[in-house]
Structure 1
Amino acid sequence: MSKTNSFGRGGAPDDKRRSFLKGAGLVGAAALTAPAGAAVSPTAEQAPRAKARVPGPRLAAADAMPPSADPVNQISSGGDFMVDVLKTLDIDYLAMNCASSFRGLHEALINHGGNTKPEILTCPHEEIAVHMGQGYAKMAGKPLAMICHGVVGLQHASMAMYNAWCDRVPVVVMGGNIMEANKRAPGAEWPHSAIDPAALTRDFTKWDDQPASLQHFAESAVRAYKIAITPPMAPVMLSLDAELQENPIENRDALRIPKLTRLTPPQGDEAALAELAKMLVAAENPVIICDRVARTPAAMPRLVELAETLQCAVIDNYGRMNFPSRHPLNQSFRRSILASSDLIVAMELNELWGTLSDFHDRINRTSEPRTKKTAMIATLGTRGLYMKSNYQDLGRYQEVDLDIAGDAEASLPALTEQVKKLIDEGRKATFEARGKKLAAAHLAAVEQAKSDATIGWDASPITSARLCAELYGQIKDEDWSLVGTSIGLSWPHRLWNFDKAHRWNGVSGGGGVGYTLPASLGAALANKGSGRLTVAIGGDGDFMFVPSTLWTAAHHRIPLLYIVHNNRAYHQEYMYLQAMAARHGRGITKADIGTTLKDPSVDYATIARGFGVHGEGPIEDPSQLGPALKRAIDVVKSGQPALLDVVMDQR
């Protein structure tokens, strides 16, 4: 894909070819202007040899200069003002893959803005840029910005934008465009432009605009930022005209940057929260299920306070770092308790029906509820406050008895106070007895997980359990942060002590492959400078989509330990294909066709070293795992990224 006009701005192709030949010293100036058949004097032997100019960006820029009659200097640009606006929005970074349609803003960021707040993150692909923003926002608690090239760059960014939409994460996306047809140069500027670029992604962005003036940009940029960070959060999109970025500012004094005001998240209705409190206090076996409750570090202690006040079970779906994994009330791996619960309270749950149902993927797909018929169901969250109709990330409709629209984190203090008012000594004693039973069951589940982790301990390929156990053994005394895992990898949540808000930041949202590596790097960027040790475990199939993320890690010196869970397959699809073959009675021996990454097997450590990242592997001998982990951790603690390629069991 070409991101620039092959012939520059104006000029025929032949003229440009001649300019290049001239600049490269391949022909003399007289030869370019002499009529055909005319003698060129002096001869090449008689004339002094001119020093050839070295091809490169400077030469290309010089040859692309407009005719001398046009003005060649200006003292301001629209891009300068745009940078001034961005600096008011608490945006620390702007990720990009450079392109001509936003060259005006790019230049202004560097020379007018000093490449600080926002600082440019150079990304080899637009999907990497957006996914970095997704991971960064969940760890930093605020969005970064990215900019992409016209409709082609936006199409590359769209998968990551969809993941961020499904994950309800704010990313400020901008895209270059040339609005006026008479201003587009021949060639690439036409297929890279659009009347309405944001139409590509409107079904999975919360808001978009295409400013027609600099004042329009100022107001829309502030509006976009506020909309993005207002629960339910989501990506926003601004299309920026190239001339608006590049042309001089006519009257800077007439332009005004609106103030970004502090946002207060929407809280649940007070009467509805009081009703929910009565239901919770009266219930014999209430269960709280949470998914994306935590927007800030304040959420976890608030949820702990409510659960301890009630001494009730909590199931964490791990969309965010909601509840401590070693807390005695954590029953995340005992979902059978839903069958005996008389009240289920779902907080910021992405897909309620799927959590409360058992689904059977057979010839005739069937399902049944995990709950008893008499169980009451209540919801608290912002999921229903903003929906779109086309993409089906909303899940199947689930009937509930009480539905409270409001941000769960913001609503928890009021709900907890209502609960405390209703508890008498009799209920308090009942709650304490209930809490002791839950604590015993939790402890038994933890001990069972430790026992299960020893199965196949010395096997090769290395078991997922051993990797997670050995990794935790080396980082548990550090201020660690796990920012990504491969599909279905639950061992860390079963074995590790997740006790702080930054220990975990959730999953991809939309299940789009290519999320884990760049999103983990974005989270590592948010952790950079905090002293935290950032680690991630990603699938090999996921890595193959965006391996050049490693170059960004090396270039910006972002410390991240990335472990490739190398099972040499898209193993979820491998299992699905086996199931299909078995269903038809055709045998499963050919299920590796189209589902595996072997013949040749990929050497991810060599790829990492090629991008300037410390790489070791492939590690197949489990006895070599511990020493390799130690070496890689030392590299990360020194401030550099590291990758381990570990050949592991299939899931």
Structure 2
Amino acid sequence: MSLSLAKGYAMATCKPQVVLAHVLTGLLHGAMELKAMYIDNIPVVLIVGQNRTHDGEVEERLAPYLSFTEVGGQRRLVDHYVKWSDAPDSNVNILSIISRAFDIASADVKGPTLLSISRELLFEKVKKIRIPPRSSPTPIQSDPSMLDKLAELLIKSDLPIIYTRYLGRSPTAVEALIEFANILSVPVFEAPGYMNFPTNHPMHLGYNINPYASEADLILVIDASGWPPWHPPSSILRNSSAKIVFMDLDPLQVKYSIYNYPSHSSIKSDSSLALPSLVELVKEKISKGNIADKVEKRRKTLSIKHEEIRERWRREALKVKDDSPIDAQWLCFCINEVIDENIVIVHEMISYGETIYRLIERNRNASGIWFKAAGPVAHTGLGQGLGVALGIKLAKPEKAVIALEGDEAFNYNPVIAAYGLAQEYSLPFLTIIFNNQSHVSKKHHLKFYPEGWSARSGTFYGVYCKPTPNYAKIAEIFDGYSEQLRILRW
């Protein structure tokens, strides 16, 4: 829970966080969240304890637990999922080490760092300590010549398209992308880990590039290298002849042992620096060329598509409004009708992900009001949503926060801890559970074993959650308000 809180707060504020966890047990309880922060580039310093004595050498009143210290130290349990770790053995330079952990977590590519500090150091009496100077590195900026080449490609392109996933972690990058789309009439597609691009912008064409990839002559993937928009990786070469350019702080995704996504060019840069520079280069080249007619024609065509897509989604939702069980499209349509830009959406959904993207769009026109809990960069595991939502509520107390959960994801969350914390610290938030009484992802195995035993017998172990509990009642034991509506259609 503490790491999910820190993740949510960091996502909402862009500020690194420090978490103190209880020795080995706290570290292991937070193992999945630690991996999630590593994958999602969340800057957090995690400090855990350990003991180096047991026979009263330092303090006889200390608890006698040997089982809270790992042979070889706590660090070795999670070293794959931290940028840097240390176990200081002296208080002489302890602040320098803590400061270094903070700086490394905050430097690009951001991520968690770990300090394992013994009880012996914590009990040591220190009369004075030196506060070290701090010097944070500047953000990563691309080679100017690479941006110039990209600007030239964009000017010459007949149908460039942009795809992003986590560009919205920087409001500056969002503003630059809006200006970029305006001056060149470039369509933008996304998987919204954050609010990347306003959904009411006429160049927002949704969430699936596949219908456009075959026509495109340039595909610019910005801040989406962690999960590009096609799979298998090489399939894009069969489906499109477009030039492919990746722009990311880590376009090669060096944390993965394999990564076969093809590109004709990879630009390593902070998009909040690269995009404003790219905008200026494009403006300069436009003034020297004659592409106004091409850009205007593209704007008119794509603006019509933007409206047609939204109208189709709306018709599909209205078509199922009277269905029972409730259709997810209608539920999302209704949520969209009552939200505005004062409401923050935190979603931890898998099965209905694209339905949520399509139909809950009204508030997604300003930075900082949309967050994907279980993987803004790449999927990192269920069970984080409530903690992330509460972390965002702490960061934005003036906003109303809604957590969207599937019943499967809800079961993975530390529900009692989440609602208890919300009650204790007066952090009101709304949870909406999309309860389809099942773990739908497990039934997807049918596509791999269409003639298997489950298909033949109709038996699916671990798929159905029946009898389904009245999840809403949980809020009531913490003095919360609850309602249970009809079950959601699978």
Normalising to structure 2: TM-score of the pair?
Answer: 0.90
Q: Choose from 214, 217, 238 the match for 1:342.
A: 217
1:192 maps to 68
Amino acid corresponding to residue 318 of structure 2 in structure 1: T
2:111 paired residue among 223, 228, 234:
234
- CA change 1:180–1:385 in 2 (3 A) is farther
Given candidates 100, 117, 120, the residue that maps to 1:223 is: 100
**Structure 2 residue matching 1:173: 3-state secondary structure:** strand
Residue 513 of structure 1 pairs with residue 382 of structure 2: yes
Structure 2 residue 313 is matched with structure 1 residue 449: yes
Q: Is the counterpart of residue 304 in structure 1 residue 178 in structure 2?
A: yes
Aligned-pair distance for 1:425? Answer: 5.4
Amino acid at match of 1:500: A
Distance 2:385 2:107 in 1: 25
User: Cα 1:602–1:589, aligned 2, differ >3 Å: closer, same or farther?
Assistant: farther
| Residue 131 of structure 1: aligned partner | 4
Instruction: List runs of 5+ in structure 2 lacking aligned partners.
Output: none
> Counterparts of 2:73 and 2:251 in 1: how far apart (Å)?
28
Matched with 1:327 is: 201
2-structure distance, mates of 1:578, 1:613: 43
Partner Cα separation in structure 2 for residue 518 and residue 370 of structure 1: 40
Report the residue type matching 1:178 in the other structure.
N
1:547 maps to which of 389, 403, 415: 415
Could you say if the C-alpha distance between residues 485 and 583 of structure 1 is closer, same or farther in structure 2, counting changes exceeding 3 Å? same
1:587 partnered with 2:436:
no
Distance 1:181 1:582 in 2: 58
Corresponding residue of 2:365: 499
Amino acid of the structure 1 residue aligned with 2:458: K
Q: Secondary structure, in 3 states, of the residue corresponding to 1:220?
A: helix
Compare CA radii of gyration and give the structure with the larger one. 1
Distance 1:267 1:618, change over 3 A: same
Of 591, 598, 604, which residue of structure 1 is paired with 2:466?
Answer: 598
When residues 333 and 512 of structure 1 are mapped into structure 2, their CA distance, relative to the original with a 3 A threshold, is closer
In structure 1, C-alpha distance between the alignment counterparts of 2:343 and 2:192, rounded to whole Å: 17
| Aligned mates of 2:466, 2:8 — CA distance in 1 | 30
Separation in 1 of the partners of 2:77 and 2:244? 38
Kept in 1, the 8 Å contact 2:214–2:241? The answer is no
Q: Decide whether aligned partners of structure 1 residues 188 and 318 sit closer, same or farther in structure 2, where only a CA change above 3 A counts.
A: farther
Q: Which runs of 5+ in 1 are unaligned?
A: 1-127, 360-366, 621-646
Counterparts in 2 of 1:153 and 1:438: CA distance versus 1, 3 Å: same
Residues 564-583 of structure 1: pairs in structure 2 closer than 5 A: 564-573=433-442, 575-579=443-447, 582-583=450-451
> Which residue identity is paired with 2:428?
P
Shift of 1:580: 5.1
1:336-358 CA distance string (max 9 Å, x none): 11111111111121346x52336
Partner of 1:472: 336
| 1:461 paired residue among 311, 325, 338 | 325
1:433 to 291, 297, 322: 297
User: Cα RMSD (Å) of the superposition?
Assistant: 2.4
Structure 1 partner of 2:85: 208
Structure 1: distance between partners of 2:13 and 2:325: 36
Give the CA deviation at 1:386: 7.1
Pairs within 5 Å for 1:142-181: 142-180=15-53
The two structures have a TM-score, normalised by structure 1, of: 0.69
Task: Indicate the structure whose relative CO is greater, using CA pairs within 8 Å and at least 6 residues apart.
Answer: 2
Instruction: State whether residues 356 and 371 of structure 1, in contact with CA within 8 Å, keep that contact through their aligned partners in structure 2.
Output: no
| 2:225–2:252 contact (8 Å) kept in structure 1 | no
Q: Does 1:618 align with 2:484?
A: yes
CA shift for structure 1 position 370: 6.8
The correspondence for 2:404, drawn from 533, 537, 553, is: 537
Which digits, 9 at most, give the CA deviation of each residue in 1:470-501, with x for residues without a partner?
2222223x511112242132334323231000
- Residue-pair matches, total: 476
In 1, Cα distance between equivalents of 2:461 and 2:162: 43
1:214 Cα deviation from its structure 2 partner: 2.6
Whole-angstrom distance in 1 between the partners of 2:457 and 2:432? 29
